[in-house]
Chain A
Amino acid sequence: MNWPVAPILLPLFTALAALFWGRPGVGRRSLVAGSAAAQLAVSLGLVCATLEGRIFVLGLGAWPARFGIVLVVDLLSALMLALSTLVALASVLYAYAESPTRAEHPLRAPLTQFLVMGINLTFCTGDLFNLFVAFEIMLIASYALLTLEADDWDIKHAFPYVGINLFGSALFLSACGLTYALFGTLNFAQIALRAAPCADDPRLWVLALLLIVVFGIKAGLFPLYYWLPNSYPTLPIPTSALFAGMLTKVGVYVLLRIFGTVLPHELAFAHTLLAVMGGATMLLAVMGAIARNFIRGILSFHILSQIGFMVLAIGLFTPLSVAACILYIIHHIVVKSSLFLIGGVAMRLNGTDDLERMGNLWKRTPWLGALFLCQALSLAGLPPLSGFWGKYLIVVAGLEQAQYALVAVSILASILTLFSMVKIWNGAFWTGSDRVPVRTSDWRWRAMTAVVAGLTCVSLAIGLGAEGVVQIAIEAAERLLDQHAYADAALGFLGKTAANPIP
């Protein structure tokens, strides 16, 4: 019964222990890494259990679901939990490989754990206001991480991030108020039941638009994304991998949850809006990526471009396209984090990530080159790598809906993605130049590459075992769209009442 709270409590207690432990050392490092591995194990256990059709529901404080806050873990939540804990584990291990204990900032480990706690709470929660709280935990930890090891140049770029997210939080709070005024509840399941008959109510449309803006800011959709591509490159590499992998995908997950489970399915105008915004995002962001000439900057713009694909898939809003979106999230989180980490290794070897001053990496470190090729081509969507299947399903879903323009845009964006990946490949790996040093004498890059190799194996497994993953994604999409099953499960938590003393 208490399993949904485990992925939240583990990071919380780890963060506290790390805070009290004080200076970083081998002991503290093993504690945090052990906890990250335990979180991954718990999440995988949740995935296995939810695959069998279970939905975990926990009413906090034993209150009945109608009065208290519920945590609900269904298949999609469990998948997201597994991905976030996987990326967190990789980020933690990479940070250990990257720097010695004496160079580690003492607050980075606790803050990262608080960030993971906020992300996991977002995936578990079944309550709109609790979702707001989860966002705040996540955002405050991310503000601190963004400015923790920053000089004033970095802080200047962190400022728009903080500013727009504070604005987004204020909007989110007003959306919560509007929801409560409309439905008298903030529980997802109850909103779903009460909103179902009023799909034609203009007040519900306003709410839907407000939620699109709020989560569009979080996910980085087209008119709202300028805060991202300048702030992410200022982060330390392991943290930026975690941010790139998870934070925007949290926005996509919430869009899926809100439009799939909570709001009525007949909001066609909102879906169309999402699809158009997704199409614009993928094209404009990939153009931004082409214009950049350093690895982290290119990859930061690609986060946005890929978000466009996912949101387009949500906007098409058929069971198949929602499944495609879930598949794309699974693929993207792993690939994007590992690309940031590969960029970090390359940066360490060359001493810079400016493409004009990099080179020689393919000759000196072919394994790193192979890993990069694998992940970059996967990002561009070449078969049989994992990115292909998500894009294929999105294109199929788009053609079924006769959205030819959006399909054409997505294919064009894929080609441009391939182009900018080739740009990194040429600049960093293929170019041979006598003046560029490759510092392979520094043994740390081997450990860092090993972490990336682990993530790449996961990504390859997703690509090669696509049949199974697609089945899981379709299953998750069906459960996500089944509002009545969700409501029955969530409201079935009766809690501790006079008639029912033991929940």
Chain B
Amino acid sequence: MSGLRSYIFKAAVRLLFFLVNVFALYLLLRGHNLPGGGFIAGLASAIALVLLSLAIGLEELHRVMRFDPMRMAAAGLAMAAVTGAAPLLFGRPFLEHFDAHLTGLPLLGELHVGTALAFDIGVFLVVVGIACKIMFALGKSTQRLRALVAEEERRYSAPVEQPIEEEPPIRAATNPSTPSPHVS
């Protein structure tokens, strides 16, 4: 990985990170009626984060951006689900969306907004969170880092975690309660 951490790459990524994220925002906002949307925007944004992690390293990224990708995805899912379920309160079908055309806004003039945007932002967060989680986990395993940072370990790991051993565990050999590999 050290080969990538050249000065030029770092400087380029510093610029690209913002460019890609702005493009992701653009994709997100145009998504409802034109090609784009939360999913593709989330992928673009995740790519920006992966680029940043390549430039500054995964440990440094964790220090700079203190977010838990799992919680981000869960928050996005909650946002999408709440947006979908909100019409139920008014007796409308699940996932129905509403829009409004606002005129005479200061600075913006006319604006067409819809609840679909909130749903798309939820999708965006889910995709960013999941993509980051998967790629960071893979990246960590290639760099021999621990799979979970301390905070994640507190939240998501089993209370009695056994390390995965190099050799087959002794349990398999002596305890017949595990199935035999062959249908004997």
Contact = CB atoms under 8 A, between A and B. Distances in A.
B148 to A, nearest CB: 12
A462 B178 CA distance: 34
B162 interface: yes
A138 B60 CA distance: 36
A61 interface: yes
Contact of B183 (A16, A106, A229, A503): A229
B96 interface: yes
Interface stretch (B17-25, B41-49, B73-81): B73-81
B93 A153 contact: no
Interface in B163-184: 164-165, 168-169, 171-172, 175-179, 181, 183-184
A13 B81 contact: yes
Interface string A12-23: 110010011011
Interface in B119-156: 154-156
A2 B92 CA distance: 8
B155 A233 contact: no
Interface in A213-268: 229-230, 233-234
A149 B176 CA distance: 19
Given A19-B74, A61-B97, A233 B179 contact: yes
A297 B179 contact: yes
Contacts of A61: 93-97
Given A19-B74, A61-B96, A107 B177 contact: no
Contacts of B171: 151, 153
B160 interface: yes
Given A2-B88, A2-B94, A294 B176 contact: yes
B158 interface: yes
B109 to A, nearest CB: 29
B93 A1 contact: yes
A352 to B, nearest CB: 5
Interface in B68-106: 70-71, 74, 77-78, 81, 85, 88, 91-97
Contacts of B3: none
B6 to A, nearest CB: 38
Interface in A86-129: 102-107
Given A62-B93, A151-B169, A234 B183 contact: no
A322 interface: no
A291 interface: yes
B35 interface: no
Contacts of B158: 105-106, 148-149
A297 B177 CA distance: 9
B133 to A, nearest CB: 12
Contacts of B70: 19
A62 B96 contact: yes
A353 B179 contact: no
A423 interface: no
A58 B94 contact: yes
Nearest to B82: A13
Contacts of B178: 153, 233-234
Nearest to B75: A20
Interface in A328-354: 347, 352-354
Interface string A24-62: 000000000000000000000000000000000011111
Nearest to A4: B94
Contact of A354 (B157, B160, B162, B176): B176
Contacts of A19: 70-71, 74
A275 B95 CA distance: 41
A5 interface: yes
B164 A152 contact: yes
Given A153-B169, A153-B178, A352-B176, A22 B155 contact: yes
Contacts of A296: 179
Contact of B176 (A102, A153, A230, A357): A357
B100 to A, nearest CB: 16
A23 B176 contact: no
Nearest to A352: B177
Contact of A347 (B94, B155, B176, B177): B177
Nearest to A347: B177
A121 B70 CA distance: 23
A319 to B, nearest CB: 33
Interface string A464-498: 00000000000000000000000000000001100
A149 B157 CA distance: 9
A291 B179 CA distance: 12
A294 B177 contact: yes
A153 B96 contact: no
A179 to B, nearest CB: 23
Interface of B: 70-71, 74, 77-78, 81, 85, 88, 91-97, 154-160, 162, 164-165, 168-169, 171-172, 175-179, 181, 183-184
Given A61-B95, A151-B164, 13 more contacts: A2-B88, A12-B81, A20-B78, A152-B164, A153-B172, A229-B183, A230-B181, A233-B178, A234-B178, A293-B176, A294-B177, A352-B176, A503-B93
What 9 A-B pairs are tightest by C-beta distance, nearest first?
Answer: A354-B176, A61-B95, A62-B96, A5-B94, A62-B93, A19-B74, A60-B95, A153-B172, A352-B177
12 contacts: A9-B85, A9-B94, A13-B85, A23-B154, A59-B93, A61-B93, A61-B95, A106-B157, A152-B168, A153-B169, A291-B183, A503-B92
